[in-house]
């Protein structure tokens, strides 16, 4: 539990750091990277995120499909005995593939919900999942009259182990953060919709840290109690629910209970997948191909890619693949390091929005759309730890202890190295436009209170104060920008934010 508490607290901290730009300037991950990487080089972190979105969407569809099979089996028990018509070399069955297909189809309508309207579905799914978890916890503890040994019996580190308990805890924390690194990296995609910073911070800490720790504790207690009931440990909810139904001798009561539990978990899994993976993938794809894709089309494309990824191949055959995904923070931590350094230290939390949406004359165009300073800093962040990823995933033995130890703290090393190097390189080779921002809110981005705090004047108000009417067609924007130019900037904004 100590690993869970510490890792989730750190995830909250880094997620809020990365999200701060979105909270202030209301821009997402796709646009946020342009002032750090340059317009063209920003595709490097973007492509990494798109790849992870494809894979995690597929894996979550597979996990949700297993819950769907439990729901269907609870209604029609004969469904579990459906003949397997697939090739014997295929690492799945017709039974599992049907559940995956149903989950995938039912999820599609939720892709048409706009991100700013996720509040109600989130509330419904949270209440349903919370009620199901509490019910399952209460039932298991009441039936078992306590918990099994997995709850109170710790594992001692063998005397022959190469690693002490402290190193194993660090490895666990690093692995836990790695599993959430993809979501932390693009946290501004959702923070930009927040009404104010306080609500986002309170929501992140209370839900992700406090509630998240309680959920993990509840899962541990439930598993320990069910260990006492069934004599085995079931960590995977679909497996546990099937065992509950089997031990209930297929009675209507046990089947009904299992159905509603599985339905609540499946609905939560579905909406989490839509929001965290598919829509996030849609945002990234829309940033990569803004002329052809909007967020909805990108989300649909991300969801369609689940069939190309074939998650049953990854989960049932490649045991190390999921471990590699959780270790992808090796590459994402340096990205976060340069993002945080650039925004908080170099730019002093000031960004010029008009230069983010039109490359013509933009300070963020750098050299042919590439900020050469960031690439070596990013590579230097993951270079010391990628060797540990290779030997751990490949099961290579005989590597020096230092290789593993660096890998066990890969997230922290990658973040700090890229942060420090980027700071130093920009000190030696400073870029133009650091600390500059638009004096006028061209896009109507901010509320009155936000504009006042940032020292930004609304575009219409500036036109009135300057005394220029439509006859003159001029307003002041960090210098001199005509009203026609304001319209041109808005057209760029509408195109790029689709």
* 396 domain-assigned: no
* 348 domain-assigned: no
Reported as a pLDDT band with limits 50, 70 and 90, residue 170 is: confident
Using one digit for the tens of pLDDT, what is the confidence trace for 291-312? 898 889 999 999 999 999 888 8
Whether residue 258 sits in one domain with residue 128: yes
pLDDT over 90 at 489, yes or no:
no
Residue with the two structure tokens 């041109």: 488
Whether residue 243 sits in one domain with residue 98: yes
Whether residue 269 sits in one domain with residue 130: yes
Q: Look at residues 325, 342, 357 and tell me which one is the last residue of a structural domain.
A: 325
Query: Which pLDDT value is given to residue 290?
Result: 87
Query: Which pLDDT value is given to residue 78?
Result: 86
Query: Which pLDDT value is given to residue 388?
Result: 82
Query: Which pLDDT value is given to residue 466?
Result: 44
The structure's pTM equals 0.84
Query: Which pLDDT value is given to residue 473?
Result: 36
d(CA 328, CA 45): 12
Give 258-322 as a DSSP string: HHHHHHHHHHHHHHHIIIIIIIHHHHHHHHHSTTT--HHHHHHHHHHHHHHH-HHHHHHT-HHHH
d(CA 184, CA 187): 5
Q: What is the CATH number of the domain that holds 224?
A: 1.10.4160.10
Structure tokens at 49: 């995120």
Segment 400-407 long-range contacts (CB within 8 Å, at least 24 positions apart): 401/162, 404/162, 404/163, 405/167, 407/174, 407/327, 407/330
pLDDT over 70 at 47, yes or no:
yes
Whether residue 228 sits in one domain with residue 88: yes
Q: Look at residues 303, 325, 347 and tell me which one is the last residue of a structural domain.
A: 325
pLDDT over 70 at 481, yes or no:
no
d(CA 8, CA 247): 36
* 360 domain-assigned: no
Nearest to 51 by CA among 332, 342, 364: 332
* 427 domain-assigned: no
Whether residue 244 sits in one domain with residue 115: yes
Pairwise pLDDT comparison (167 vs 12), residue with the higher score = 12
* 224 domain-assigned: yes
Q: In terms of DSSP bridges, do strands 440-441 and 457-458 run parallel, antiparallel, or are they unpaired?
A: parallel
How is residue 361 annotated by DSSP?
T
* 193 domain-assigned: yes
Structure tokens at 239: 């497996």
d(CA 35, CA 305): 30
Mean pLDDT of the chain: 84
447: domain range? 440-496
* 39 domain-assigned: yes
- 475-485: average pLDDT: 38
pLDDT over 60 at 478, yes or no:
no
Q: Look at residues 325, 346, 379 and tell me which one is the last residue of a structural domain.
A: 325
Q: Alpha helices, DSSP H only, in 354-480?
A: 354-357, 374-394, 401-408, 410-428, 448-454, 459-466
Structure tokens at 447: 């509320």
Number of domains present in the structure of the chain: 2
Using one digit for the tens of pLDDT, what is the confidence trace for 59-88? 999 999 999 999 999 998 888 888 888 887
Helix axes 329-340, 374-394, angle to 10 degrees: 160
* 392 domain-assigned: no
Structure tokens at 100: 């995956």
Query: Which pLDDT value is given to residue 396?
Result: 64
Nearest to 421 by CA among 375, 366, 387: 375
Structure tokens at 442: 């061209």
pLDDT over 70 at 336, yes or no:
yes
Reported as a pLDDT band with limits 50, 70 and 90, residue 488 is: very low
């Amino acid at each position: 539990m100590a690993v869970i508490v510490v890792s989730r607290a750190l995830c909250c901290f880094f997620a809020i750091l990365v999200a701060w730009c979105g909270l202030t300037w209301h821009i997402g991950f796709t646009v946020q990277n342009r002032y750090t990487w340059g317009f063209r080089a920003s595709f490097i972190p973007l492509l990494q995120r798109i790849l992870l979105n494809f894979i995690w969407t597929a894996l979550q569809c597979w996990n949700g499909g297993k819950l769907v099979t439990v729901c269907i089996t609870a209604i029609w028990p004969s469904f579990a005995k459906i003949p397997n018509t697939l090739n014997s070399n295929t690492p799945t069955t017709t039974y599992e593939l049907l559940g995956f297909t149903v989950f995938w189809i039912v999820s599609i309508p939720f892709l048409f919900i706009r991100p700013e309207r996720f509040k109600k579905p989130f509330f419904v799914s949270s209440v349903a999942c919370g009620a199901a978890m509490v019910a399952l916890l209460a039932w298991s503890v009441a039936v078992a009259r306590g918990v099994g040994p997995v709850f109170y019996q710790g594992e001692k580190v063998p005397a022959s182990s190469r690693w002490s308990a402290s190193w194993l805890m660090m490895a666990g924390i690093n692995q836990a953060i790695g599993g959430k690194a993809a979501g932390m990296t693009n946290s501004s995609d959702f923070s930009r919709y927040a009404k104010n910073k306080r609500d986002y911070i309170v929501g992140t800490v209370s839900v992700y840290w406090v509630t998240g720790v309680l959920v993990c504790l509840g899962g541990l207690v439930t598993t320990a109690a069910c260990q006492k009931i069934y004599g085995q440990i079931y960590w995977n909810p679909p497996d546990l629910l099937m065992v509950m139904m089997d031990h209930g001798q297929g009675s209507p009561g046990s089947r009904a209970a299992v159905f509603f539990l599985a339905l609540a978990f499946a609905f939560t899994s579905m909406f989490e997948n839509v929001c965290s993976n598919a829509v996030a993938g849609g945002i990234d794809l829309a940033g990569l191909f803004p002329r052809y894709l909007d967020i909805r089309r990108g989300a649909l494309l991300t969801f369609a890619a689940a069939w190309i990824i074939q998650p049953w191949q990854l989960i049932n055959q490649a045991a190390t693949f999921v471990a590699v995904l959780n270790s992808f923070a090796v590459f994402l931590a340096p990205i976060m390091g340069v993002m945080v350094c650039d925004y908080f230290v170099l730019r002093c939390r000031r960004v010029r929005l008009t230069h983010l949406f039109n490359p013509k004359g933009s300070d963020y165009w750098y050299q042919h759309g590439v900020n050469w300073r960031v690439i070596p800093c990013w590579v230097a962040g993951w270079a010391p730890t990628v060797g540990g990823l290779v030997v751990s995933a490949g099961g290579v033995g005989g590597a020096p202890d230092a290789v593993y130890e660096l890998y066990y703290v890969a997230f922290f090393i990658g973040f700090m190295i890229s942060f420090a190097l980027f700071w130093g390189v920009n000190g030696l080779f400073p870029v133009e436009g650091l600390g500059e921002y638009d004096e006028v809110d061209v896009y109507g981005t901010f509320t009155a209170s936000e504009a006042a705090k940032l020292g930004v004047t609304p575009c219409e108000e500036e036109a009135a104060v300057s005394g220029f009417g439509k006859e003159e067609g001029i307003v002041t924007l960090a210098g001199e920008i005509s009203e026609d130019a304001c319209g041109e900037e808005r057209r760029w904004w509408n195109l790029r934010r689709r």
